[in-house]
């Protein structure tokens, strides 16, 4: 890692940012790669996004802001590419490849999320880059990894959710498979990738050794399925769809209040179950052999849900939520995203920030979710046009005093 240089045209953040001085090249598109580098940029890394002529496809995905002008801009792209600088390079052109090679020599981290072999075919695979930059951290994100029988399969989020088993445990028990509504495979893998890059960078700083980081969406999502794997290996039971229910805890699911509003009750221990019985004024349920311990409640959870459903129908969801909050039983109203983003809690913790798009539009974005002492997140670099930062990046990375 080398000293960070700041110029009048450089819109970087505070010099004491945790990753200030770290230079990252992103050869990314769509979600998983750009999300990983966005996280690095949020912590102050100088992330340069390399795009082909006319930009990467996510720029043009709806919803578009400024659609009536020449500056139409995809909101998905804007959110994923804040705090980065955008440059345009045609990697199929010899001059473009020469310029990219010079940038690779000055990077600390390179991250790409193309299919295996694509970057090598362009002359920018790990084996190519490590010759140019012997201490590089090179992160490749793919659906199934760089080796194995599924290596060359395509991998959008929902395909990985299917392949890894998420769709087999999501949805109603007797219903059709349902994907997680949030792009879990894309964004979850992006978190793994960002963490892995920082880990490999730490080793590179200590030893001077390069790092070839192979991040597989498939493997990352399997890592998150600890509960399901434990259920299979520990009990010999193949996990299945349970709606909002939990295979080993009850009551731990959605219930309907008397006002027609859904809420979640999560009483995952015997003590919490006792508190539930106190709140609903049904103390005899504590000693009922069907519900006296976690195992019996899980075994009879449908019967328990019927009993509780009848009780909860007698009062509003908000009333039950307040009672359970007072009793310190985990519970939550099932909100939509409009309700979430306008909530007092989101306002208090300062999660929503603003950024400016190329057409001048001011739009909100959910900021970095982690708080770190001595550092405050900010949008210090607005999403840019294709090639907007070509000149300043070349000046700072290629023609400024060498950092190594």
CA 308 – CA 279 distance, rounded (Å): 11
Pairing of strands 84-88, 46-51: parallel
When computed from its CA atoms, the radius of gyration of the chain, rounded to whole angstroms, is 25
What phi and psi, each to the nearest 5 degrees, are found at residue 229? -65, -40
186 is catalytic: yes
Q: What share of the chain is helix, strand, coil (3-state, %, to 5)?
A: 40, 15, 45
DSSP 47-70: EEEEE-TT--GGGGPSSEESTTST
| 11 Cβ neighbours under 8 A, 6+ residues apart | 85, 380, 381
192 is written with which tokens?
């793994």
State the catalytic residue, choosing from 10, 186, 270, 376: 186
CA 38 – CA 31 distance, rounded (Å): 10
CA 149 – CA 140 distance, rounded (Å): 18
Cα dihedral across residues 82, 83, 88, 91: positive or negative: negative
C-alpha to C-alpha distances, 81 to 32, 206, 243, 381, 387, nearest whole angstrom? 12, 30, 34, 9, 13
Q: Which active-site residues does the annotation give?
A: 186
């Amino acid at each position: 890692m080398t000293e960070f240089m700041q110029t009048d045209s450089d819109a970087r953040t505070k010099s004491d940012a945790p990753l200030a001085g770290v230079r990252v090249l992103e050869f990314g598109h769509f979600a998983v790669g750009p999300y990983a580098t966005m996280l690095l940029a949020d912590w102050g890394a100088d992330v340069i996004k390399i795009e082909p002529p006319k930009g990467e496809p996510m720029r043009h995905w709806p919803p578009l802001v400024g659609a009536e002008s020449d500056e139409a801009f995809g909101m998905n792209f804007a959110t994923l590419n804040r705090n980065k600088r955008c440059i345009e390079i045609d990697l199929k052109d010899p001059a473009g490849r020469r310029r990219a090679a010079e940038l690779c020599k000055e990077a600390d981290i390179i991250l790409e999320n193309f299919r295996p072999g694509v970057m090598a075919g362009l002359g920018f695979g790990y084996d190519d880059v490590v010759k140019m930059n012997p201490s590089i951290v090179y992160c490749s994100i793919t659906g199934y990894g760089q080796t194995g029988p599924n290596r060359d399969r395509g991998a959008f989020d929902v395909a990985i959710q299917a392949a890894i088993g998420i769709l087999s445990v999501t949805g109603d028990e007797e219903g059709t498979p349902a994907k997680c509504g949030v792009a879990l495979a894309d964004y979850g893998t992006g978190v793994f990738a960002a963490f892995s890059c920082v880990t490999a960078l730490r080793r590179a700083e200590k030893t001077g050794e390069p790092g070839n980081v192979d991040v597989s969406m498939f493997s990352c999502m399997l890592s998150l399925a600890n509960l399901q794997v434990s259920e299979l290996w520990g009990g010999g039971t193949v996990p299945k769809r349970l709606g909002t229910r939990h295979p080993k805890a009850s009551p731990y699911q959605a219930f309907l209040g008397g006002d027609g509003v859904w809420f979640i009750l999560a009483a995952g221990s015997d003590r919490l179950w006792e508190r539930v019985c106190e709140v609903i004024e049904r103390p005899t349920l504590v000693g009922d052999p069907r519900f006296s311990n976690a195992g019996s409640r899980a075994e009879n959870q449908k019967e328990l849900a019927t009993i509780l459903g009848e009780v909860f129908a007698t009062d509003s969801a908000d009333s039950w939520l307040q009672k359970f909050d007072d009793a310190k039983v985990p519970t939550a109203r099932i909100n939509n995203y409009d309700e979430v983003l306008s909530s007092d809690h989101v306002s208090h913790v300062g999660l929503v920030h603003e950024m400016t798009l190329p057409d001048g539009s001011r739009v909100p974005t959910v900021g970095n979710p982690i708080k770190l002492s001595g550092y405050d997140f900010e949008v210090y670099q607005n999403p840019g046009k294709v090639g907007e930062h070509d000149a300043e990046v070349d000046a700072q990375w290629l023609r400024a005093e060498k950092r190594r």
